[in-house]
Amino acid sequence: MIPYVVSPRLIGALCLAAGLLLPLAAAAHPHGWIDLRMRLVLDGEGRLQALQQSWRLDPFYSLVLLEELGREAGGGGLDAALDQLGSDMRETLSPQGYFTELTLEDDRLGLGEVNDYTVLERDGRIEFVFLLPLVEPLEMAGETLRYRVFDPTYYIEVVHEAAGDTPLADALVVGGELNCQTRIRAAEPDPERVMAAAMLDVDDEAEPGLGRHFAETGEVTCR
């Protein structure tokens, strides 16, 4: 869970925020969300080299984090605190594969470690931008690449940045000169899983992998 990476005092603040954020009728998972933008980075030969991701924490969580980071900021000020937050987020996400699953047709692709990342405040929201490399460059032509980005516990929902129900034009883009078609498919969770998620409150632990069933799927097919 991304917000739980700064300090014990921040944990308490975010637990309080979760309770204030949601009305009594919405005590279920998720308790916050991330707006995702994805850019496929190609090398000079048109092979997929990395996934550049931008995560914008929802306004309420961003507000709580910014207020807490402002109180805890030392001599380096807020910028230094945001840098530390980025380092904490990277360390937390690394063992979990950065919440990212990537497949070509039915084959799972290997992902490397993030070394290029930053955290900034933009329009009152905290944004985590990072470059997630593939273990090996991937030829894109003729096959369909799919990815999902999700919190396995479904405490935090990850959705492509959208206007209403329509993803923004830059929510999924492909760099380079390949002729590619992109699509973002909405999740279609089983009604029983929806009910199970609705029964979870802020203190409950979800079944492993619950978030996968609620994740949008990005698809890219290049000629």
The average pLDDT across 137-162 equals: 91
Residue pair 27/161 in contact by the 8 Å Cβ criterion = no
By C-alpha distance, which of 39, 22, 13 is closest to 218? 39
pLDDT exceeds cutoff 80 at 208? no
The average pLDDT across 95-104 equals: 95
Query: Measured between alpha carbons, how far is 78 from 113 in angstroms, rounded to an integer?
Result: 26
pLDDT at 159: 96
pLDDT exceeds cutoff 90 at 104? yes
Give the pLDDT band (50/70/90) at residue 132: very high
Q: Over the chain, what is the mean pLDDT?
A: 82
Q: In sequence order, which residues have a C-beta less than 8 Å from that of residue 160 and are 6 or more positions away? A: 35, 36, 37, 38, 167, 168, 171, 172, 184, 216, 218
Q: Which of 8-12, 120-124, 162-166, 213-217 has the lowest mean pLDDT?
A: 8-12
Query: Measured between alpha carbons, how far is 23 from 1 in angstroms, rounded to an integer?
Result: 21
Residue pair 182/219 in contact by the 8 Å Cβ criterion = yes
198 membership: H or E segment, kind and range? helix 191-198
Residue pair 49/134 in contact by the 8 Å Cβ criterion = yes
pLDDT exceeds cutoff 90 at 19? no
Q: What b/e string do you get for 21-51 counting C-beta neighbours within 10 Å, with b at 16 or more?
A: bbeeeebbbbbbbbbbbbbbbbeeeebbbbb
Query: Measured between alpha carbons, how far is 41 from 145 in angstroms, rounded to an integer?
Result: 13
pLDDT at 220: 96
Owner of token pair 């905290």 = 126
Give the pLDDT band (50/70/90) at residue 70: confident
Give the pLDDT band (50/70/90) at residue 142: confident
Q: Which of 61-70, 113-122, 126-135 has the lowest mean pLDDT?
A: 61-70
DSSP state of 8: H
The average pLDDT across 89-94 equals: 92
**pLDDT winner (highest mean) among 16-25, 47-56, 188-197:** 47-56
What tokens does 16 get?
């309080």
Note the pTM of the prediction, 2 decimals.
0.83
pLDDT exceeds cutoff 50 at 9? no
Q: Strand 162-163 relative to strand 166-167: parallel, antiparallel, unpaired? A: antiparallel
The average pLDDT across 60-75 equals: 82
pLDDT exceeds cutoff 90 at 24? no
pLDDT exceeds cutoff 90 at 14? no
pLDDT exceeds cutoff 70 at 17? no
pLDDT at 8: 43
Owner of token pair 């000079």 = 44
The average pLDDT across 208-213 equals: 79
